[in-house]
Amino acid sequence: MSTTRPPRQQAPVLTCDSHFHIFGPYDQYPLDAGRSYTPPAALVPLYLAMAEAVGIGRMVVVQASVYGTRNEVTLDAVRQFGLHRARAVAVIDDSFAPAALRRMHEAGVRGVRFNMVSGNGTPEDQLEALARRLEPLGWHIQVYAEGDKLEAVAPQLAKLPVEVVIDHCGGVKAALGTAHPQFAALLRLLDSGRAWIKLSSYRASSAGAPWTDVAPNVRALAAAAPERCVWGTDWPHPGMDPVPEAGVLFDQFVEWVPDTAVRQRILVDNPARLYGF
């Protein structure tokens, strides 16, 4: 049973949670030995209870680093949710054959994540080669990086032959301010027209709970590229203490992006285009 309270404002029909993880059941999907953390189980029924409370109608399961390149838990979650409302972002390396990628596409995969924070995934030196392999599938590259790392790799990302989706507001800490070179690099990447940004924001907080110091970052990103922003809960919020509540996170998003038409784009229209709903 979800303890998430409904947000104060009703979510639009077909609101998409573009970033969350499923962990377990561990007797069926054991964690990878190379992981950097060990999360509690977070199963499909509990996610669905949260999604119902918030008003989420579509969902994108993101393969977490604790599973490495073994995507079975993520693909099974999409199967349980149903392709009518779910997609996935997988983690692969250059050992995956074209036939395997086609099967993953049929199972709902639309992107590949490069985790430059937690590791235990795709080697960074495979970035360009894998992007070329993903281009015929229409997949994107998703990047999780801290702000300094993102600034360093942004020129490389802008040259990839596929679109790029940046996690967690680009990892630029709120205390640095939106005039900082890291944030400027993020905006330049968005200006390239090939990059998207996930407005799952609290990991960019410098102040901690209730994570409201990220408001200027979210407002600036939504103003800069309203057609290439998506929103996500980051449920079950691995590593966070206290654990955020998705209903509160949605209320914050509504407060920081007050324009109804822009919110509709970010919550419904943009993810439908990016993930192929």
The residues, ordered by sequence, that sit 6+ positions from 17 with a Cβ below 8 Å of its Cβ are 51, 54, 56, 58, 59, 60, 231, 232, 233, 235
Instruction: Dump strand ranges (E) for the chain.
Output: 15-20, 56-62, 86-90, 109-115, 140-144, 164-166, 195-198, 229-230
- CATH of span 15-275: 3.20.20.140
* Alpha-carbon distances, residue 198 vs 153, 195, 202, 271, 276 (angstroms): 17, 10, 11, 10, 16
Per residue of the chain (277 residues), what is the pLDDT tens digit? 457 899 999 999 999 999 999 999 999 999 999 999 999 999 999 999 999 999 999 999 999 999 999 999 999 999 999 999 999 999 999 999 999 999 999 999 999 999 999 888 888 999 999 999 999 999 999 999 999 999 999 999 999 999 999 999 999 999 999 999 999 999 999 998 889 999 999 999 999 999 999 999 999 999 999 999 999 999 999 999 999 999 999 999 999 999 999 999 999 999 999 999 9
8 φ, ψ (degrees, to nearest 5) = -65, -35
CB pairs under 8 A, 24+ apart, for 123-131? 123/93, 124/153, 126/93, 126/94, 127/156, 127/160, 128/156, 128/160, 129/94, 130/92, 130/93, 130/94, 131/160, 131/161, 131/162
- Residue 3: the pLDDT is 72
- Residue 2: the pLDDT is 53
Nearest to 62 by CA among 94, 90, 35, 81: 90
Domain boundaries, the chain: 15-275
Longest distance between any two alpha carbons in the chain, whole Å: 48
Asked if 73 and 101 count as a contact pair (C-beta separation under 8 A), the reply is no
- Residue 1: the pLDDT is 41
Nearest to 139 by CA among 113, 157, 118: 113
- Residue 176: the pLDDT is 98
- Residue 119: the pLDDT is 80
- Give the count of beta carbons closer than 10 Å to the beta carbon of residue 122: 23
- Token pair for 126: 């495979």
- Residue 121: the pLDDT is 84
**What are the catalytic residues?**
234
15 φ, ψ (degrees, to nearest 5) = -55, 135
